[in-house]
Chains A and B, each alone.
Chain A
Amino acid sequence: MPDWLATLLISLLKAVLLVLALLTTFAYMTLVERRLLGRMQLRPGPNRVGPMGLLQPAADAIKSIFKEDLTVTLADKLVYTLAPIVAIGMALTAFGGLPAGPAGSLLGENPWVYNLDAGILALLALTSMGVYGIFLGGWSSGSKYPILGGLRSSAQMISYELGMGLSILGLLMLVGTTSFQGIVGWQSQNGWLILFQSLGFVLFLISSFAETNRTPFDLPEAEQEIVAGYLTEYSAIKWALFQMAEYVNMITASAVMSTLFFGGWKGPQFLNALIPGVSDWPLVWLIVKIAFFLFLFIWVRATLPRLRYDQLMRFGWKLLLPLALGNTVLTAAFLAFRGQGSLWFLGVLSLGGVVALLILSDRVRTLWNQPSLRRSDPVRAGGD
């Protein structure tokens, strides 16, 4: 067997294993989310199917496969079927580029499926392909609520993708590479990037909540407002595929945040003094960090009310975008004129930005809470 064929077969094996692992994680995420939401609301959550409800995900999966797969008469059959496949395909592929350890640490193989030099760009491209799944699903359903959800989601996701793309520019300026391995390597030498880019991290966190359609930004599927948005006409496994895509996106977002800002698969160095080499356990640290962010996603869901749609758009365009641009300019200015100052000064500046934002939160709230244009105003910008 030629060498390249062996390599490709190993990649195939890794891809299949990764997909299965992600789907299992997704299934148990639904259980963990329901149990945690239950705990947060002082009730037990699902605990009947299997011990501690552990078989609940399996029951849900079997049920959704054996459900009747309805397609509304007026729907566009082909696009209607393809949309969930596109959504899940893009969501799963995005995860494959994230490194879970140094090269060759997975039984002699590399612990990632693909490693592109422009890793971050590929990831952003794949997440923006995800919007096609949702929008085409909404458009092709041949019904009113789905198209509303689809329009909302496309506008929301592209708006917050700007904030997302701009908020990591400061990070890229510091690191000087777009490959994930390079970023993890930089962090193991200079310290976690959250220290130097806390403002960028906050913006990235908020945008990734919006990108994955999670509360407080889950407008595309706001149950109380537009039934279930783009999911209204979907049943059986197609519905489950959309849910799957959302949760896999959540896992990917958590992994990206851990990799970009929290040292990736490397743990904190000072722990090495307690147990030698503990900060280098690949996979373990990455999973711990991902679990933390997933908990954060659920916690926020149980805590914050949803934004109104106009508030959501104003929040993205009037606060997130200028701040991300400001963060970029701040980092650029620091790097250009740092003189003898070391990186900690940038960390203080960035943290100062976050603190200022928190202190001023009552003032800046008017940016997105109160429209400066009312429906009754005579002069309209675009008119609808």
Chain B
Amino acid sequence: MRTRTDAERGPTIEYANFVIMLLVALGIGIVAVLASALLGPKKASRTTLMAYESGNDPERGGVGTGQRFPVHFYLVAMLFIVFDIETAFFYPLAVAYQRLIPFAFFEAITFVLLLLVGYVYILKKKVLEWA
């Protein structure tokens, strides 16, 4: 039994493995959809192809249905971008943290405090309230 180490394979091969996994996983989905399209009955009528709206005729239709939706969703998405970037900055700091203390601690605290100012601001503005 021969054991290949990661060093022998090199890091690139792992990305190739990742792509293989992704293709296999997507392939399963495609095969399933194709199989169902081939095997299933096709007796669709105008009424079965109507959008579900609790038994009524759909009022407005089409992709996205043309409804207006609360701006809250937009705000949450923006906040997510801001805080996710924060998280992205935190990851390298966390991994290298033990080599950078105690300096890194004060750096991290400063960063967190700056973000907390923004967080308190959105709390006070009641952006996070879904009344």
Contacts and interface: CB of A to CB of B under 8 A. Distances in A.
B43 A68 contact: yes
Nearest to A382: B71
Interface of B: 1-6, 9, 11, 13-18, 20-22, 24-26, 28-30, 32-33, 35-37, 39-44, 46, 48-54, 58, 61-65, 67, 69-77, 79-80, 83-84, 87, 90-91, 94-99, 101-102, 104-105, 108-109, 112, 116, 119, 123, 125-131
Interface in A145-175: 145, 147, 151, 154-155, 158-159, 161-162, 165-166, 169-170, 172-173
A249 to B, nearest CB: 13
A18 B22 CA distance: 12
A141 B74 CA distance: 21
Contact of B71 (A76, A233, A371, A384): A384
Contacts of A19: 24-25, 28
B111 to A, nearest CB: 10
B121 to A, nearest CB: 12
Nearest to B100: A336
A4 B75 CA distance: 48
B65 A147 contact: yes
Contacts of A194: none
Contact of B22 (A89, A227, A383): A89
Contacts of A169: 87, 90-91, 94
Contact of B33 (A85, A114, A337, A374): A85
A333 B105 contact: yes
A347 interface: no
Interface of A: 4, 7-8, 11-12, 15-16, 18-19, 23, 64-76, 79, 81, 84-86, 88-93, 96-97, 103-104, 107-110, 113-117, 121-122, 139-145, 147, 151, 154-155, 158-159, 161-162, 165-166, 169-170, 172-173, 176-178, 227, 232-233, 236-238, 240-241, 309-310, 313-314, 317-318, 321-322, 325, 328-329, 332-333, 335-337, 371-375, 377, 380-384
A108 B131 contact: no
Given A75-B63, A142-B51, A241-B29, A103 B87 contact: no
Given A70-B48, A151-B73, A172-B95, A15 B21 contact: yes
B94 to A, nearest CB: 4
B21 A113 contact: yes
A107 B32 contact: no
A76 B63 CA distance: 6
10 closest A-B pairs (Cβ-Cβ)? A384-B70, A310-B130, A104-B3, A92-B25, A237-B36, A85-B29, A143-B51, A336-B105, A114-B17, A108-B1
B14 A238 contact: no
Contacts of A8: 13, 16-17, 20
Contact of B51 (A74, A97, A177, A237): A74
A309 B6 CA distance: 46
